[in-house]
């Protein structure tokens, strides 16, 4: 019995050793760079994989992309934490997060020399010192259920219409969608970043009509899908993504306008794979990647040379005219005042 047990044990040991060696083998034989990059996850990731990751890996077989899912502010927290030992090389963040990362000196600036496609962007999408690359934009919109809301909403004031009481959601102010709505509300109510009182007064009036204050895109999708809400502030790309799943949902950019929300790629300062990171960012700015992103995930291109197919062009905000029509807020100021607004919002609106 004992000898048999011994043999069995030894056989197992050999087996596991072989397995272990096998696991090591392919990594040794292929000298590949593994570039770790973040993205927003979910349906976004499916599109990003098809439009950017797979074509990029085909063009650069020596680079392997590892996609991890991180939300904007999680990314920011991670950048801080990994400052001395970079594990994730490229982060996907919105303007607010990226500007914060740049202010904390956590980013590796780029240039037309290192990322040639930067030169193809609409000038409005270049940031001071090229601290990061804007690879897409979308618009803050009003998303609505086309069967339940007719005629289509025209103004942010429509949220105050008693017809929709108990059938609307407003994103919480600590999310990007919530912040854009709040900035538009300032405009609608004749308030300013320095005097937000009229906006808070309006929100207090709206409070009882609001089903919930979601924080994530998935929650809004769920609310629309289940029919718990018929109207909510959202973004152009996420609305179209949900509509593409067959839901009767559409968006309008109301007469007060919409906020332009930009997505940026940020290279972490101190990355050990700078060359691969630069290639990746450059690829994400290319005409082919942006056209594919527009088609699959409805991200509006920042590259001026992208020619969209007519079907996509009719759906998403695009082109210089559309970009100019959207509001470009003073993000720096909004960022500095945001904690104050959120604190007041916590006490007066969601309480």
| H/E element, 159 | none
Q: Binding of another protein at residue 104 (CB under 8 A)?
A: yes
Q: Binding of another protein at residue 148 (CB under 8 A)?
A: no
Cα angle value 326/142/92 (rounded, 5°) = 65
Which residue stretch of 27-35, 73-81, 118-126, 315-323 sits at the interface with another protein (rule: CB under 8 A)? 73-81
Sorted by sequence, the CB contacts under 8 Å of residue 90 that are 6+ apart come out as: 35, 36, 37, 38, 265, 266, 267, 268, 271, 277, 280, 281
Q: Is 15 left (phi over 0), alpha (psi -120 to 50) or beta?
A: alpha
Q: Binding of another protein at residue 62 (CB under 8 A)?
A: no
Task: Supply the minimum distance, in Å, between the C-beta of residue 339 and another protein.
Answer: 5
Q: Which two tokens stand for residue 157?
A: 């004031």
**How many amino acids of this chain bind another protein (CB under 8 A)?**
32
User: Cis (ω within 30 of 0) for the bond into 324?
Assistant: no
Of 261, 266, 264, the C-alpha closest to 328 is 261
CA 97 to chain centre: 10
Q: Binding of another protein at residue 274 (CB under 8 A)?
A: no
| H/E element, 144 | strand 133-145
Nearer to another protein by Cβ, of 211 and 325: the residue is: 211
Nearer to another protein by Cβ, of 207 and 305: the residue is: 207
Task: Supply the minimum distance, in Å, between the C-beta of residue 173 and another protein.
Answer: 8
Of 51, 45, 18, 36, the C-alpha closest to 82 is 36
What mask, x for binding another protein by CB under 8 A, covers residues 302 to 321? Answer: --------------------
The dihedral formed by the CA atoms of 190, 191, 197 and 199, expressed in degrees to the nearest 10:
70
Task: Supply the minimum distance, in Å, between the C-beta of residue 344 and another protein.
Answer: 11
Nearer to another protein by Cβ, of 255 and 347: the residue is: 347
Q: Binding of another protein at residue 335 (CB under 8 A)?
A: yes
Q: Binding of another protein at residue 73 (CB under 8 A)?
A: yes
Site for another protein in 199-258 (CB under 8 A): 211-215, 219, 222, 226-228
Which residue stretch of 31-39, 100-108, 116-124, 317-325 sits at the interface with another protein (rule: CB under 8 A)? 100-108
**Residues β-bridged to residue 265:** 92, 133
Interface residues with another protein (CB under 8 A) are 71, 73-74, 76-77, 80, 100, 103-104, 172, 174-175, 211-215, 219, 222, 226-228, 332, 335-336, 338-339, 342, 346-347, 350-351
């Amino acid at each position: 019995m004992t000898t048999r047990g011994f043999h069995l044990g030894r056989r197992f040991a050999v087996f596991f050793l072989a397995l272990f060696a096998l696991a090591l083998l392919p990594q040794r034989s292929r000298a590949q760079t593994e570039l770790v990059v973040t993205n927003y996850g979910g349906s976004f990731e499916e599109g990003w994989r098809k439009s950017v990751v797979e074509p990029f890996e085909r063009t650069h077989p020596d680079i392997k992309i590892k996609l991890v899912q991180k939300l904007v502010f999680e990314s920011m927290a991670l950048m801080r934490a990994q400052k001395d030992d970079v594990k994730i090389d490229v982060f996907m963040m919105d303007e607010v997060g990226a500007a914060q990362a740049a202010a904390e000196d956590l980013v590796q600036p780029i240039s037309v020399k290192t990322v040639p496609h930067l030169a193809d962007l609409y000038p409005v999408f270049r940031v001071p010192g090229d601290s990061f690359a804007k690879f897409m934009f979308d618009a803050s919109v009003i998303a609505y259920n086309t069967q339940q809301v007719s005629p289509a909403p025209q103004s942010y004031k429509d949220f105050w219409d008693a017809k929709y009481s108990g059938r609307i959601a407003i994103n919480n102010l600590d999310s990007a969608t919530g912040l854009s709505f709040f900035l538009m509300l300032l405009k609608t109510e004749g308030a300013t970043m320095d005097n937000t009182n009229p906006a808070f007064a309006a929100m207090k009036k709206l409070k009882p009509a609001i089903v919930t204050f979601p924080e994530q895109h998935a929650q809004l999708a769920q609310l629309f899908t289940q029919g718990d809400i018929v109207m909510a502030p959202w973004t152009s790309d996420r609305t179209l993504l949900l509509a593409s799943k067959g839901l009767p949902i559409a968006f309008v950019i109301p007469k007060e306008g919409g906020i332009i929300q930009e997505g940026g790629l940020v290279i972490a300062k101190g990355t050990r794979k700078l060359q691969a990171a630069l290639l990746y960012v450059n690829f994400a700015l290319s005409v082919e990647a942006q056209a594919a992103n527009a088609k699959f995930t409805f991200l509006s291109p920042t590259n001026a040379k992208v020619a969209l197919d007519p079907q996509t062009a009719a759906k998403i905000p695009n082109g210089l005219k559309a970009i100019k029509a959207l509001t470009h807020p003073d993000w720096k100021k909004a960022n500095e005042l945001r904690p104050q607004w959120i604190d007041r919002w916590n006490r007066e609106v969601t309480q």
